[in-house]
Structure 1
């Protein structure tokens, strides 16, 4: 299939390399030194002690150079999508499927809702991640499949990504249907070496992944601690649990359910080890932080559902100020080991 990965960071690159080696026609949208390295040397994946290089790909920063695709994988961070949404129609044919892998609450959360979710919020705009409903209006929800990215990845240098752990990319129709196309995307991912079950309730799985993102990511950003450290230090472990329980209360009012306990979710994060979250990696690189999709949108939904979330609001205030400091001072904030 013709597949375009829009946003070839660590996760997008992981998908792109594996899909290219599975025989698909891959285009990668990237920018800066990362793009230059891919164009010169291909995109290298380091996984399980082995190296895979995808050099039979098209790499560009200009979406308009490409033609209609069978599949568009949206791997940009939530706050980056609006800037390129007007160019996406260049990639759309009649049956093009858009697979979204953003962290956090997606812009389409209240579109095409299944029968097991609260219908009173149908077609509502999630203003925090989609101000004015720009994305909601620009991308037909019937094109969209939800996807959750569980792997931990890092970009070790331009053009080189490293797999830390995990290969799971569950997918699902927004309305929960068991369609031919969602099974086709699942099979494509599985053939590329991923675990990709088809889920009847993609939103509940979004909340399960988001449990970790909304707690561990911002805590790591303000403390510079790894997942293992956050989970093993009693005070931050307790804070993460409080944030997760507040989010669970919001999610359940919206009709979502949780198939594991908070404690089990924390234990799973602890097992990842000394991994820096994506938000901590962005802090160290001086990049804008992916706050709103992970945390701001949850606070918005808490207000919609009249749910009290004091821990979430406190951490949100701290990490927003951190993000402002990084932007205003044009600095990266990196901890260096003592000599």
Structure 2
């Protein structure tokens, strides 16, 4: 008898990276009745053990008890592992989470940018290719096999007030999908779980397309904000900078078309969406201001690599990457050459 979504349960859930997005998801999942554990360290670990995980939203405060540890083996095998860390931390994190993953564990990647599994079961002639820019030695793919992965695109804005204390600003959208594009019982069950937990969850027939469309906007605005200190409204108000952004988006649009992700919109259409955010500080700008490593490889280097693989020239994206990494290296937030 074939498996159905009713045969798949997600009772035990581990959050790896209880920052803004991971913490937000963890609170909602715990309030919906799941047994939530958190792999954490330092001040966050101590806070979670003593006070639980806390979420502030619209004047309401929700605090949930969680099992927290810095040792994955102490948490044991989970039904669902939500990985929501910054891309530069993923190589190290991937080596730590093995004890959480059993034969049937689903690993949900709720992260920015192009993931290491992007071309698994997708990409036409590029299908199956490994992206060296995000997984140089293949360590992530070995630790987190593609068979366990379900992709997730987050459309929400959250921040960390203090370790273990999350503030939700706006948005509650989660798009999930199998890398292969198949509608499996496990992705159906996960979609149902997220809806029950209060998220506006959407089941995608091709999650790579949703990843690419989100990336189409933030691969340019994020790095520019990081090395200029400008909010999104100021970036788009400058005609020359907006033109530079549009040129990069056209390059990315051509790459997308080459791997099976056509985008019907023009850059100005996306700019109109970004303008609705007002004077928004991007996540990469916040990282720079907090002295944290920046996600340049997942947002920009991977797009450049896909351009090289597909034969699409990327002079404007190359310029952005060069400027961004020069700035980040000067601050010690990106690896030296």
The answer, yes or no, to whether TM exceeds 0.5 is: yes
Are 2:282 and 1:277 equivalent residues in the alignment?
yes
Gaps of 5+ in 1: 330-339
Are 2:172 and 1:167 equivalent residues in the alignment?
yes
Contact 1:3 1:27 in 2 (8 A): yes
Counterparts of 1:303 and 1:90 in 2: how far apart (Å)? 37
Are 2:30 and 1:25 equivalent residues in the alignment?
no
Q: Offset of 1:191 from its aligned partner?
A: 1.2
| TM-score when normalising by structure 1 | 0.91
Counterparts of 1:259 and 1:143 in 2: how far apart (Å)? 32
Of the three residues 186, 192, 214, the one matched with 2:191 is 186
Counterparts of 1:128 and 1:29 in 2: how far apart (Å)? 26
Counterparts of 2:212 and 2:115 in 1: how far apart (Å)? 11
Contact 1:204 1:258 in 2 (8 A): no
Q: Could you list the per-position Cα deviations for residues 235-258 of structure 1 after superposition, in whole angstroms to 9, with x for gaps in the alignment?
A: 332222222111111111111133
SS at match of 1:149: strand
Of the three residues 215, 219, 224, the one matched with 1:219 is 224
Alignment CA distance shift 1:246-1:147 (3 Å): same
Are 2:325 and 1:320 equivalent residues in the alignment?
yes
- Aligned position for 1:306: 311
Q: After the TM superposition, which residues 100-249 of structure 1 pair with which residues of structure 2 at under 5 Å, given as runs?
A: 100-113=109-122, 117-118=123-124, 120-249=125-254
Counterparts of 1:4 and 1:252 in 2: how far apart (Å)? 36
Counterparts of 2:146 and 2:152 in 1: how far apart (Å)? 14
Q: Offset of 1:259 from its aligned partner?
A: 5.6
Counterparts of 2:309 and 2:178 in 1: how far apart (Å)? 24
- Aligned position for 1:96: 105
Counterparts of 2:323 and 2:21 in 1: how far apart (Å)? 27
SS at match of 1:151: strand
Counterparts of 1:155 and 1:293 in 2: how far apart (Å)? 22
Of the three residues 49, 52, 61, the one matched with 2:62 is 52
Q: Offset of 1:230 from its aligned partner?
A: 2.2
Q: Could you list the per-position Cα deviations for residues 277-321 of structure 1 after superposition, in whole angstroms to 9, with x for gaps in the alignment?
A: 111111011111111001011111111111111221111111111
Contact 2:294 2:333 in 1 (8 A): no
Q: Could you list the per-position Cα deviations for residues 36-65 of structure 1 after superposition, in whole angstroms to 9, with x for gaps in the alignment?
A: 3222222221112221112x1012222222
Q: After the TM superposition, which residues 68-83 of structure 1 pair with which residues of structure 2 at under 5 Å, given as runs?
A: 68-83=77-92
Q: Could you list the per-position Cα deviations for residues 12-53 of structure 1 after superposition, in whole angstroms to 9, with x for gaps in the alignment?
A: 111111111111111112233233322222222111222111
Q: Offset of 1:266 from its aligned partner?
A: 1.9
Contact 1:9 1:30 in 2 (8 A): no
Counterparts of 2:275 and 2:199 in 1: how far apart (Å)? 22
**Cα RMSD, aligned residues only:** 1.7
- Mean alpha-carbon deviation: is it higher for 187-196 or for 238-247? 238-247
Are 2:18 and 1:13 equivalent residues in the alignment?
no
Contact 2:292 2:333 in 1 (8 A): no
SS at match of 2:116: coil
Counterparts of 2:162 and 2:240 in 1: how far apart (Å)? 34
SS at match of 2:92: coil
Contact 2:236 2:271 in 1 (8 A): yes
Contact 2:19 2:164 in 1 (8 A): no
SS at match of 1:167: strand
SS at match of 1:272: coil
Counterparts of 2:113 and 2:222 in 1: how far apart (Å)? 11
Gaps of 5+ in 2: 1-10
Alignment CA distance shift 1:121-1:73 (3 Å): same
Alignment CA distance shift 1:243-1:32 (3 Å): farther
Deviation beyond 3 Å, 4+ runs, structure 1: none
